[in-house]
Amino acid sequence: MASWRVAASLLALRDQVNLAWPGRSRASDGTIGDARHRSRDSDHNPWIEDGAVGVVSALDLTHDRAGGCDMEKVVEAVRASRDRRIKYIIWNRRICSSSAVGNATAWAWRAYGGSNPHDKHAHFSVKASKALYDNPDPWSIGARATVSDPLSPEIATRPVLRRDSRSAAVSELQTLLRRHGHDITVDGRFGAATEAAVIAFQTALGLVPDGVVGQKTWAALLAA
């Protein structure tokens, strides 16, 4: 397979986890199969074909309880949401599938006997239908703040704002910054105080602290 990409649903899941726990360890994260995976049947291999591009339909996310990114909680939140994009999840010596397997009902845990116990990362596989694997809707991940999908139309239509911008969108930005604890005036003018608040907000969320409000910063600001 000459070129490959990761399913959009899984990129959305990873973005959401990154925004919820910006400082999390990524030591056991993974998308495309390493040599060990490649010799086996694995969704980390880009076996799904979307035109000439292979699609990776599995994502590993690092268990980092100390960093707040507790895979037990993330996995249970996804499982509880019965997200229709999921094919199966492997976590901590167990596997659950979104459809019944043998005697196990849909979403019930079964023992997982693979050589890797999956206690350092959780494995998420999504279904092979493009309408599902490329669906970037927000996931239920159990985080206090559910971050909006950065690619949603609501966010894509918001303008990029920077120093000296003046518009109603700046007033909205200032209102959101106030909601996130920054004591600035809502006057529709992107001045030094607004820029400082944006940089502080971006730094706190692990975003690039450039003072420019693009889609990722809008997404984080709009998070509930």
Residue ranges binding Zn ion (CB under 5 A): 60, 123
Fill in the DSSP letter of residue 117.
-
Closest CB 196 distance from Zn ion, rounded Å: 42
Nearer to Zn ion, 127 or 216 (CB): 127
What are the DSSP E strand ranges found in the chain? 3-6, 48-50, 53-56, 58-62, 86-91, 94-97, 109-111, 121-126
Closest CB 27 distance from Zn ion, rounded Å: 14
Q: In Å, how far from its chain's centre is CA 219?
A: 12
Nearer to Zn ion, 32 or 108 (CB): 32
How many Å apart are CA 150 and CA 222, to the nearest integer? Answer: 10
Residues facing 126 on adjacent strands: 86
Retrieve residue 216's tokens: 């990722």
| CB-based closest residue to Zn ion | 123
3-state secondary structure at position 174: helix
Nearer to Zn ion, 62 or 217 (CB): 62
Retrieve residue 108's tokens: 């019930």
Closest CB 141 distance from Zn ion, rounded Å: 17
Nearer to Zn ion, 114 or 181 (CB): 114
Cβ neighbours of 133 (radius 10 Å) = 23
Nearer to Zn ion, 112 or 218 (CB): 112
